[in-house]
């Protein structure tokens, strides 16, 4: 709210442009994520509008875009599918209850000032977790991309079901999905400023409408309900609420971690602060109100935040512009939205999933610290084998084990420079690392479990002065850092 109190008129033009651009990305994206969550596509529009309004008022980031997001959508589907047992009304009620529970857990975290838990997932674990989620997203869209009947709750079952249903593939659907993917990646490669998702889905919609492909087996979104969503508590049994508590905790952890990582990344660019506890409160309110409007759990979207930043957005005023445009599209543009082909929305989910796999980060981990590379791969495997919910628990457990490993197996090493890398590194596995001339820097990662610890050759230094040391001339002559300052 503080950003609106000091709002400058000169920012309005940039925020309006950013709002228009983000809306072009958001409309097809949130509809695709709603279907990924197992809900009608229109649900994504109302969830986005609600979450954007709430975060604009309560959030501490000037650029973060909150609403339906791929990871939380997939987790929602994985949790609710076995509970709903094919009952659409029950599924929608459970999704709303899950969102309210996620909000309640975030509120408890905010009241207990647990914002520091944003650092619970280490970077390698988060990279691996996102990879596992991305592969699960691709597997979950195989049915929409091929027209075959694909069922299953986890990666292995989805792939197995797809293999068994291979003879049912509708090749016209496959061709449409491939065309949308080619267009998405082509626009991203050669025309990155063009809103690829909206243009690709509109092109697919035009092709389906002009060639009457719906009569040849191409599925479309279908009727979008008129009027506004109802507001109220979902009708669920107490036993269902109990069954949703643990999944809600997992979604809250992932959503909050994702929020903080994205918010801090953009805050560092724009030199403004992000309050972790304020983020918890904003995420709490966004999920509770989304649940009360019969939506599903929401989080931040890194891709839409990037678009807002690249479009010159200054404050959350751009989010309010997006809300106005989304509501206008939902009310006035139903005729177009109803003809969106589901294969195009599935292709959009796959496109987002591919973007989530950070190949460059894997290369960096393999080059600088192989143990962290193994940790990332192990986390991805855990998500694929154990599923989304237990994958979250495995990710947290691996982060804790990684911390204990660092404490128990500390080492001292001489820092050096690596060509093409902007900072010193302690990695002893890089052959191109070269020491500084005339001055050696020594870094230690020894545990801080006792008031004194051994540095080398029998010398012991107080804890407060030995977190980092340097020596002049040779690495055999070591002194506490505080003795040199």
What confidence score (pLDDT) does residue 178 get? 96
Please state the rounded mean pLDDT for residues 193-197: 84
Alpha-helix runs per DSSP H in 387-453: 388-408
DSSP state of 341: B
Highest mean pLDDT among 7-11, 119-123, 344-348, 446-450: 344-348
Which tens digits make up the pLDDT trace of 118-145?
Answer: 666 677 887 888 888 889 889 988 999 9
Sign of torsion, CA 187 52 144 211? negative
Q: Is the pLDDT of residue 47 over 70?
A: yes
What span, in angstroms and rounded, lies between the C-alpha atoms of 304 and 306? 5
Which tens digits make up the pLDDT trace of 369-407?
Answer: 788 898 889 889 988 888 777 777 787 787 788 778 777
Please state the rounded mean pLDDT for residues 102-116: 89
Which tens digits make up the pLDDT trace of 407-431?
Answer: 776 665 666 655 555 555 555 555 5
Confidence tier at 187 by pLDDT (50, 70, 90)? very high
414 vs 316, higher pLDDT: 316
Q: Is the pLDDT of residue 38 over 50?
A: yes
Whole-number Cα distances in Å, 284 to 57, 112, 196: 13, 13, 31
What confidence score (pLDDT) does residue 452 get? 40
What span, in angstroms and rounded, lies between the C-alpha atoms of 403 and 417? 26
Q: How far is CA 179 from the centre of its chain?
A: 26
Mean pLDDT of the chain, nearest integer: 81
Confidence tier at 466 by pLDDT (50, 70, 90)? very low
What confidence score (pLDDT) does residue 190 get? 94
User: What whole-number percentage of the chain has pLDDT above 70?
Assistant: 80
What span, in angstroms and rounded, lies between the C-alpha atoms of 154 and 77? 11
Whole-number Cα distances in Å, 249 to 75, 100, 122: 11, 11, 18
What confidence score (pLDDT) does residue 339 get? 87
What confidence score (pLDDT) does residue 296 get? 96
What span, in angstroms and rounded, lies between the C-alpha atoms of 60 and 81? 34
Q: Is the pLDDT of residue 102 over 60?
A: yes
386 vs 97, higher pLDDT: 97
Please state the rounded mean pLDDT for residues 310-327: 90
- Give the number of other CB atoms < 10 A from CB of residue 226: 9
254 neighbors 392 (Cβ within 8 angstroms): yes
Confidence tier at 71 by pLDDT (50, 70, 90)? confident
Q: Is the pLDDT of residue 255 over 70?
A: yes
337 neighbors 224 (Cβ within 8 angstroms): yes
What span, in angstroms and rounded, lies between the C-alpha atoms of 469 and 482? 8
266 vs 239, higher pLDDT: 239
Provide the whole-model pTM: 0.74
What confidence score (pLDDT) does residue 483 get? 34
What confidence score (pLDDT) does residue 116 get? 73
What confidence score (pLDDT) does residue 445 get? 54
Give domain limits for the chain.
Answer: 9-406, 412-444
């Amino acid at each position: 709210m503080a950003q609106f109190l000091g709002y400058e008129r000169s920012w309005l033009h940039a925020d309006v442009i950013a709002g228009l651009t983000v809306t072009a990305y958001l409309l097809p994206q949130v509809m695709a994520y709603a279907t990924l969550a197992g809900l009608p596509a229109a649900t994504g529009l109302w969830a986005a509008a609600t979450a954007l309004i709430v975060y604009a008022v309560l959030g501490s980031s000037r650029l973060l875009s909150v609403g339906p997001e791929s990871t939380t959508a997939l987790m929602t589907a994985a949790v609710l599918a076995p509970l709903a047992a094919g009952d659409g009304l029950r599924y929608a009620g459970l999704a709303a209850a899950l969102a309210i529970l996620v909000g309640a857990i975030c509120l408890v975290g905010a009241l207990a000032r647990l914002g520091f838990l944003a650092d619970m997932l280490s970077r390698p674990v988060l990279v691996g977790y996102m990879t596992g989620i991305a592969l699960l997203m691709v597997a979950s869209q195989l049915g929409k991309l091929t027209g075959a009947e694909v069922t299953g709750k986890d990666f292995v079952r989805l792939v197995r079901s797809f293999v068994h249903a291979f003879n049912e593939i509708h090749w016209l659907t496959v061709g449409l999905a491939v065309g949308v993917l080619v267009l998405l990646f082509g626009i991203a490669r050669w025309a990155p400023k063009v809103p690829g998702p909206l243009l690709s889905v509109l092109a697919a919609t035009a092709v389906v409408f002009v060639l009457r492909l719906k009569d040849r087996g191409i599925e479309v979104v279908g009727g979008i309900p008129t009027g506004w969503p109802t507001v109220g508590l979902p009708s669920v049994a107490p036993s269902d609420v109990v069954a949703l508590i643990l999944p809600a905790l997992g979604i809250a952890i992932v959503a909050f971690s994702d929020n903080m990582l994205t918010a801090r990344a953009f805050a560092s660019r724009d030199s403004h602060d992000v309050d972790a506890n304020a983020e918890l409160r904003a995420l709490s309110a966004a999920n509770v109100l989304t649940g009360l409007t019969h939506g599903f759990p929401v989080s931040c979207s890194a891709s839409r935040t990037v678009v807002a930043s690249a479009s010159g957005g200054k404050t959350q005023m751009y989010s309010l512009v997006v809300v106005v445009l989304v509501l206008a599209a939902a009310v006035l543009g139903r005729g177009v939205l109803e003809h969106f082909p589901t294969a195009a929305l599935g292709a959009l989910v796959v496109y987002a999933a591919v973007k989530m796999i950070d190949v460059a980060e894997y290369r960096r981990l393999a080059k600088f610290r192989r143990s962290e590379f193994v940790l990332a791969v192990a986390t991805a495997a855990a998500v694929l084998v154990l599923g989304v919910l237990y994958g979250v628990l495995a990710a947290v457990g691996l982060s804790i084990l990684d911390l204990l490993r660092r404490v128990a197996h500390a080492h001292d090493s001489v820092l050096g420079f690596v060509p093409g890398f902007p900072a010193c590194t302690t990695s002893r596995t890089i052959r191109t690392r070269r020491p500084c001339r005339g001055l050696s820097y020594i870094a230690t990662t020894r545990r801080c479990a006792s008031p004194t610890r051994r540095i080398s050759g029998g010398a012991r230094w107080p804890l407060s002065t030995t977190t980092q040391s340097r020596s002049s001339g040779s690495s055999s002559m070591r002194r506490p850092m505080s003795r040199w300052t």
